[in-house]
Structure 1
Amino acid sequence: MEKETETTKVEPAAPAPAPRVAVVLFLLKGKSSVLLGRRRSSIGDSTFALPGGNLEFGEGFEECAIRELKEETGLEVQRTEFLTVTNNVFVESPKPSHYVTVFLRARLDDPNQVPRNIEPEKCHGWDWYDWGDLPSPLFWPLEKMVRSGFNPFANIPS
């Protein structure tokens, strides 16, 4: 007599959330203005943030920053400079996430360029703000940097 066995289908476990890499750009104008946009996002909705986005497979940091700036604002830069990296874990957001954020800075090659809101589903709009008088609320990683005394205009090579 054959023994009857019961089998249960085991669903594979969902993969554990993994950190992602974001690259953002301090786009500087003059001696104290920085470009910020008001986010439309599940993370940091309606906060002011720098242009930037997710690093794509095989992409360099500078390449990512230049691409994201163009996609979001229509603005063009040729070169960027590395500033710092932060580790940001968003546990209280609607969708918990972990981002390693690479911060770069640049200046416009043509100062007469005007930012456009190319992705209105992701941003309310772009504008220049004085570093000493930033809008509120700032996106959490940027706010944390500002409160620490970070200044993207410091140590700019001549």
Structure 2
Amino acid sequence: MEQKNGAVPRVAVVVFLLKGRSVLLGRRRSSVGNATFALPGGHLEFGESFEECAAREVREETGLKIAKAEFMTVTNNVMLDEPKRCHYVTIFMKVIVGVGVGAPKEEQEPQNLEPNKCDGWGWYEWDHLPQPLFGPLDKMVKAGFNPFSS
């Protein structure tokens, strides 16, 4: 595939925050995937580890503090049907809220700290996810991916 206008793949790190059988999702406000439900996450910064990026992005977007995120999987997403065509290599991380090393000592509630990028955060049962899901997440769900069994 020919490179267009100097466009290059970017790296995103997104986080499955799991609580019971629920996952934290927010409705995007973006030129890519607008009005779809997505996981918290964002661009990997130069020199940053996947774990550092996961913690930073979750804190910046939701105010939640996580100490440890675990690598789950990686996907290659070429999105040509979006108003802003893009290509992302997406690193998926997992945090189980309320249990284990990365769990906060007290219960935290997600806040919408970037209202210009997200309409708000909510916990959704894995078996009853809201629609429409952000493209890369939707493909994973339709392929049978389940963050609770990984």
TM-score by length of 2: 0.91
Larger radius of gyration: 1
How far does residue 36 in structure 1 lie from its aligned partner after superposition?
Answer: 0.2
Match in the other structure for 1:22: 12
In 2: Cα distance, 1:149 partner to 1:94 partner = 28
Match in the other structure for 1:131: 126
How far does residue 68 in structure 1 lie from its aligned partner after superposition?
Answer: 0.1
Q: CA-atom RMSD, angstroms?
A: 1.2
Q: Confirm whether residue 118 of structure 1 aligns to residue 113 of structure 2.
A: yes
Q: Which amino acid in 2 is paired with 1:135?
A: P
The number of aligned residues is 141
Counterpart selection for 1:64 from 45, 48, 53: 53
* Structure 2, unaligned runs of 5 or more: 98-102
Match in the other structure for 1:10: none
In 2: Cα distance, 1:95 partner to 1:21 partner = 16
* Structure 1, unaligned runs of 5 or more: 1-13
CA offsets 1:30-89 (integer angstroms, 9 cap, x no match): 1x1000000000000000000000000111101001000000000011001111000001
Q: Confirm whether residue 44 of structure 1 aligns to residue 39 of structure 2.
A: no
Percent identity of the aligned residues? 62
Counterpart selection for 1:92 from 65, 77, 81: 81
TM-score by length of 1: 0.86
